Structure 1
Amino acid sequence: MFRAQRPRTARLTPWEGDGRVTGVALLLPGGFLRSRRRPLKAAELGLRELATGLADRGRPHGLAVHLLRYRYGGWNGADADTAADTHWALDELARRHPGAPVVLIGNSLGGRAAFWCAGHPSVAGVAGIAPWLPSGDRVEQLAGRRVLIVHGTADRSEASAARSLEYALRARRVVPDLARYEVPGGNHYLLRRTADINALTT
């Protein structure tokens, strides 16, 4: 007898705090263009220090920090699984913390999900760290949000700095409150400048 596999579900890490939540930071890790396997734990590790810093500074002000654990490790073409999971997370956060504004902070693949889902009514701002922003992705959903993009100039991955620059220039037409910073010589992972990037994002 074969045992039927239960469908995978996206999950939010717990909020380590108490009291009234006045705002939420939702962290979205990177991943692969295509993968039906479980997400790599290493993708979360890159955001762990940022999550800790946000939680420490935000706890006195009612900031809840959550990291989204996707169903799958990949975007997966038209299925856009990463964005679908992000939309689920935003609906769930609106249920848990009614009225609390959310800032999406996405790395690489998670950056694309953040920008795709920026039109959700709970979202007040979006930050992309080396975000994957292919040509042709919509920008209209950013209207009324605050936007930050940080990218290394030597990023030669699919999520290249040239693509995020092209996206930012188009987005400026609908969201004047947009800032894009370049890290000279930084590659896709930006490991040598983690502390600076975390401080800027926070």
Structure 2
Amino acid sequence: MFRAQHPRTPELSPWDDDGPVSGIALLLPGGFIRSHRGPLRMAELGMRGLATELADRGRPHGLAVHLLHYRYSGWNGADADTAVDTRWALDELARHHPGAPVVLIGNSLGGRAAFWCAEHPSVVGVAGIAPWLPSGDRVEHLAGRRVLIVHGTADRSAAGAAQSLEYALRARQVTPDLARYEVPGGSHYLIRRGADVMALTTDFTLAALGMAAAPPATGAVCTRLPARA
């Protein structure tokens, strides 16, 4: 573990990075629009299933899986604390694993951080699970990256599905290697289709890192989430 030496510093927890590392999945949990409390542990726990599936399926290919613990559980306006911590994590991973490509996987608040930090030279792909993507967030820096967005149509949170649709339509002009899946009737938490979301996200991550074939819906922005086989 890359341990913080002082209070209120981010930390990286390796879920699996034994052996040679050919690629990295960096998991970015959710949080709040504004909060200076510590990281939201429930949001981190909510990514355990995905971390386990990534590690299990990616281990034979040299995939390292890391979870980021933020300094604060909030984005906090112009401070963009979640994005600041994500950039720190990317720099740390690049230092420990030079040349290893990274896929950012962000849930809700973490989704915004993932898309904000996609221009980092290590990043080859970005996945947002019910991502918070306010209107006006830039997309130009996504050029050359693979993109996945999964959103429930009944998401009534601040990270509504209409926002990610608008973002995806703009982003597709920059990167055609984009897929956005909708979960009909799905809420912000996507609990009923959790297994399918994890499978799709893992498929995407392995494909973006060159470890597996790509999922079929590249270029579509309103595809229904398929059932897990």
Q: TM-score, normalised by structure 1?
A: 0.96
Residue 122 (structure 1) aligned with residue 122 (structure 2):
yes
Provide the residue aligned with 1:168 in structure 2: 168
Deviations 1:72-97 (A, max 9, x none): 00000000000000000000000010
Identical columns (%): 82
Output the CA distance in 2 between the equivalents of 1:15 and 1:140: 31
Provide the residue aligned with 1:144 in structure 2: 144
Q: After the TM superposition, which residues 77-156 of structure 1 pair with which residues of structure 2 at under 5 Å, given as runs?
A: 77-156=77-156
Provide the residue aligned with 2:47 in structure 1: 47
List alignment gaps of at least 5 residues for structure 1. 1-5
Provide the residue aligned with 2:209 in structure 1: none
User: Where do 4+ consecutive residues of structure 1 move more than 3 Å?
Assistant: none
Output the CA distance in 1 between the equivalents of 2:19 and 2:166: 42
Q: After the TM superposition, which residues 47-86 of structure 1 pair with which residues of structure 2 at under 5 Å, given as runs?
A: 47-86=47-86
Letter in 2 for 1:177: D
In structure 2, relative to structure 1, the CA distance for the partners of 1:196 and 1:11 (3 Å cut) is same
8 Å Cα contact 2:16-2:66 kept in structure 1: no
Q: Provide the secondary structure at the position in 2 that maps to 1:14.
A: strand
Output the CA distance in 2 between the equivalents of 1:15 and 1:183: 28
Deviations 1:108-145 (A, max 9, x none): 00000000000000000000000000000000110000
Output the CA distance in 2 between the equivalents of 1:76 and 1:18: 35
Output the CA distance in 1 between the equivalents of 2:169 and 2:15: 35
Provide the residue aligned with 2:36 in structure 1: 36
Q: Provide the secondary structure at the position in 2 that maps to 1:13.
A: strand
Output the CA distance in 1 between the equivalents of 2:32 and 2:155: 16
Provide the residue aligned with 1:3 in structure 2: none
1:189 Cα offset (Å):
0.6
List alignment gaps of at least 5 residues for structure 2. 1-5, 203-229
Q: TM-score, normalised by structure 2?
A: 0.85
8 Å Cα contact 2:17-2:65 kept in structure 1: no
Output the CA distance in 1 between the equivalents of 2:196 and 2:106: 16
Q: Provide the secondary structure at the position in 2 that maps to 1:103.
A: strand
Q: Provide the secondary structure at the position in 1 that maps to 2:53.
A: helix
Residue 22 (structure 1) aligned with residue 1 (structure 2):
no
1:20 Cα offset (Å):
1.2
Q: Provide the secondary structure at the position in 2 that maps to 1:191.
A: coil
Q: Provide the secondary structure at the position in 1 that maps to 2:20.
A: coil
Q: Provide the secondary structure at the position in 1 that maps to 2:111.
A: helix
Output the CA distance in 2 between the equivalents of 1:99 and 1:181: 30
Output the CA distance in 1 between the equivalents of 2:34 and 2:173: 31
Output the CA distance in 1 between the equivalents of 2:34 and 2:162: 22
Output the CA distance in 1 between the equivalents of 2:15 and 2:131: 25
Provide the residue aligned with 2:196 in structure 1: 196
Q: Provide the secondary structure at the position in 1 that maps to 2:85.
A: helix
Output the CA distance in 2 between the equivalents of 1:75 and 1:11: 17
